[in-house]
């Protein structure tokens, strides 16, 4: 990643957690890997725009319905501002219920804490609150790359269903990229299609309720494995941020234990943004049609001081 140390050379300072980027961009950094992006990445991304087709990667704020993981449904209110205008407001708005970025304050490493050694007591949502989503509100703009995992698995004849616990390994990502003729370059935003979101849209109301309740272990999801080689793969490829189209990022069910849970390694140790429930099916179809899986990627997270997450407000431009 630019002139940064390789994954196996981390950390850069003694006393920091193994394989962490703590201190790499300063002791008080809250931006993590987004720090590497600059004007050159924007210009590099514009070179991917060849036809001007825009794909929104944002799901409806009301989906999934019912919400997952104990979050509550969004309440939207429209009311007259005056005889000639309306305003609206939201109650119970969970920014991580639908398409989302996880900020670096979302998950801590059980042994080492939050990114750059922060503690939960510091996350106040007030000015000075570290690791918040506002650290990325200036925009995440770079070349984007899509890996279409259902298409890859189909090409190999391997059994695959997005509603089953399938571990997507780093070797699978590398092989999918090779099959597509796609190069993952330094500074890229990596989008990984599992097919889960499209599968969910075809699910019945009863099944959606069972999934939200996780009744009898109904929630089973294909996603990234817990392999310790995955953070190495992403870091050494120069990936700045990574997102999937499922609600857990990783395959599920999965015990949240050190060495087998990517949120700990990517968010807390490397400071790498994690996205979930990105809408990728239409983009994937278009990429397959023109045999080109790269594009300009833009995202403008909410400018909320100390926010824990945000809708991505993300676009892919081909």
Q: How far apart are the first and last CA of the chain?
A: 24
Give the residue-averaged pLDDT of 300-309.
Answer: 98
Q: Identify whether the C-beta of residue 276 lies closer than 8 Å to the C-beta of residue 247.
A: yes
In a domain, 47, yes or no: yes
The percentage of residues in the chain with a pLDDT greater than 90, rounded to a whole number, is 96
Q: What's the total number of domains in the chain?
A: 1
- Using alpha carbons, list the distances in angstroms from residue 129 to 102, 144, 308: 16, 30, 10
Three-state SS for 41? helix
pLDDT tens per residue, range 131-173? 999 999 999 999 999 999 999 999 999 999 999 999 999 999 9
pLDDT tens per residue, range 231-241? 999 999 999 99
In a domain, 249, yes or no: yes
Full domain range(s) for residue 227:
7-317
Residue 81 burial (10 A CB sphere; 0-12, 13-18, 19+)? exposed
In whole angstroms, give the CA distance from residue 202 to residue 64: 12
- Using alpha carbons, list the distances in angstroms from residue 34 to 137, 140, 188: 11, 7, 10
- pLDDT for residue 3: 85
In a domain, 145, yes or no: yes
- Using alpha carbons, list the distances in angstroms from residue 265 to 16, 33, 66, 238: 14, 13, 29, 16
Q: CATH number for the domain including 183?
A: 3.50.30.50
Neighbouring C-alpha atoms within 13 Å toward the C-beta of 152: 24
Copy the structure tokens of residue 249: 């990022």
In whole angstroms, give the CA distance from residue 272 to residue 29: 12
- pLDDT for residue 214: 86
In whole angstroms, give the CA distance from residue 214 to residue 193: 23
Strands 314-317 and 294-299: antiparallel
In a domain, 52, yes or no: yes
In a domain, 2, yes or no: no
- pLDDT for residue 216: 66
In whole angstroms, give the CA distance from residue 134 to residue 292: 32
pLDDT-derived band at 1 (thresholds 50, 70, 90) equals low
Whole-number mean pLDDT of the chain? 96
Q: Which residues contact 194 (CB under 8 A, 6 or more apart)?
A: 149, 150, 162, 168, 221, 222, 223, 244, 245, 246
Query: Does 107 score more than 90 pLDDT?
Result: yes
Torsion of Cα atoms, 159 then 162 then 166 then 172, to 10°: 80
In a domain, 193, yes or no: yes
Q: Which residues contact 83 (CB under 8 A, 6 or more apart)?
A: none
Query: Does 196 score more than 70 pLDDT?
Result: yes
Query: Does 40 score more than 90 pLDDT?
Result: yes
């Amino acid at each position: 990643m630019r002139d940064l140390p390789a994954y196996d050379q981390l950390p850069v300072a003694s006393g920091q957690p193994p394989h962490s980027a703590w201190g790499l961009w300063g002791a008080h950094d809250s931006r993590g890997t987004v720090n590497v992006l600059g004007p050159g990445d924007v210009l590099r991304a514009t070179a991917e725009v060849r036809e001007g087709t825009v794909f929104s990667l944002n799901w409806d704020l009301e989906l999934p319905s019912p919400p997952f993981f104990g979050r509550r449904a969004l309440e939207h209110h429209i009311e007259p501002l005056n005889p000639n205008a309306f305003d609206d407001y939201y109650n119970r708005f969970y920014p991580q219920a639908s398409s989302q970025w996880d900020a670096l304050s979302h998950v801590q490493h059980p042994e080492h804490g939050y990114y750059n050694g922060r503690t939960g007591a510091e996350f106040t949502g007030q000015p000075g609150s570290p690791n918040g989503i506002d650290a990325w509100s200036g925009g995440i703009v770079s070349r984007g790359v899509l890996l279409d995992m259902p298409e890859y698995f189909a090409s190999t004849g391997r059994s695959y269903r997005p509603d089953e616990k399938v571990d997507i390994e780093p070797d699978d990502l590398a092989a999918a990229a090779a099959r597509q003729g796609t190069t993952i370059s330094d500074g890229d935003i990596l989008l990984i299609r599992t097919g889960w979101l499209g599968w969910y849209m075809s699910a019945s109301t009863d099944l959606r309720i069972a999934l939200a309740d996780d009744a009898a272990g109904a929630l089973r999801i294909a996603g990234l494995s817990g392999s310790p080689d995955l953070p190495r793969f992403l870091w050494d490829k120069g990936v700045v941020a990574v997102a999937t189209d499922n609600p857990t990022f990783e395959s599920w069910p999965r015990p949240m234990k050190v060495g087998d849970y990517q949120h700990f390694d990517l968010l807390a140790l490397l400071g790498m943004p994690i996205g979930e429930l990105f809408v990728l099916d239409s983009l994937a179809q278009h990429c397959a049609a023109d045999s080109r899986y790269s594009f300009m990627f833009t995202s403008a997270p909410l400018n909320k001081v100390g926010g824990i997450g945000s809708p991505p407000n993300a676009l892919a431009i081909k």
